[in-house]
């Protein structure tokens, strides 16, 4: 390895420490309601979708509701390790990890892993919007989706 290459690696590591880099994590805590007019949806997602998120440094809990009906309650670490869950009534394996300020979720469904979904969650600078870019890795050819959710006051969600 040349000294220039080594110097560049050291510079990038120091820049990452000084300017926050991957240690900057979004504040996902709270209640989030879907904004259908701002979202790009190809699958059936109810207009009453609400996510309640509880997050700490190494774990995330996501409660999904459709209006007043609690549909899912899942918890998993954010270290990239797999968690077996029941999701919308069927078995799945998920994992979460941070890629800088973006929380990434990988979800594998089906006994033969016939569905693999990647979600990238990012919060707007003012903290009012959560954008979830959804890519369907398997099966191939399913169009990507984008969910936009707005942060709700705690009293607005039951």
State residue 155's pLDDT score: 62
Cα 21 from Cα 149, distance rounded (Å) = 25
Spans of all domains in the chain: 23-156
pLDDT tens for 65-81 read 998 898 889 999 999 99
Q: Token digits for 13? A: 């590591």
State residue 112's pLDDT score: 77
Average pLDDT, integer, range 2-11: 43
State residue 23's pLDDT score: 56
State residue 5's pLDDT score: 38
3-state secondary structure of 14: helix
Rounding to the nearest 10 degrees, give the CA dihedral for residues 32, 38, 39, 41: 140
Cβ contact 48:73 at 8 Å: no
Q: Is 16 a residue whose pLDDT tops 90?
A: no
Widest CA span of the chain, in angstroms?
Answer: 61
State residue 49's pLDDT score: 94
Give the architecture-level CATH label for domain 23-156. Beta Barrel (2.40)
pLDDT tens for 20-57 read 444 588 999 999 999 999 999 988 778 899 999 999 98
Q: Is 4 a residue whose pLDDT tops 50?
A: no
Average pLDDT, integer, range 5-17: 43
Preceding amide of 40 cis, omega within 30: no
Cβ contact 142:116 at 8 Å: no
């Amino acid at each position: 390895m040349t000294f220039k290459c080594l110097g560049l690696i050291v510079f990038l590591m120091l820049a990452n420490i000084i300017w926050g880099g991957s240690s900057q994590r979004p504040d996902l805590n709270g209640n989030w309601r879907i904004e259908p007019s701002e979202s790009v949806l190809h699958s059936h997602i109810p207009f009453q979708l609400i996510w309640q998120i509880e997050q700490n440094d190494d774990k995330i809990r996501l409660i999904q509701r459709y209006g007043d009906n609690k549909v899912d309650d899942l918890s998993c670490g954010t270290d990239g390790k797999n968690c077996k869950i029941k999701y919308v009534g069927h078995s799945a394996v998920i994992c979460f990890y941070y890629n800088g300020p973006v929380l990434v979720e990988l979800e594998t469904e089906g006994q033969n892993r016939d569905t693999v979904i990647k979600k990238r969650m990012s919060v707007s600078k003012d903290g009012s919007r959560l954008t979830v870019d959804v890519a369907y890795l398997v099966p191939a050819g399913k169009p990507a989706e984008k969910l936009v959710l707005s942060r709700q006051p705690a009293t607005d969600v039951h």
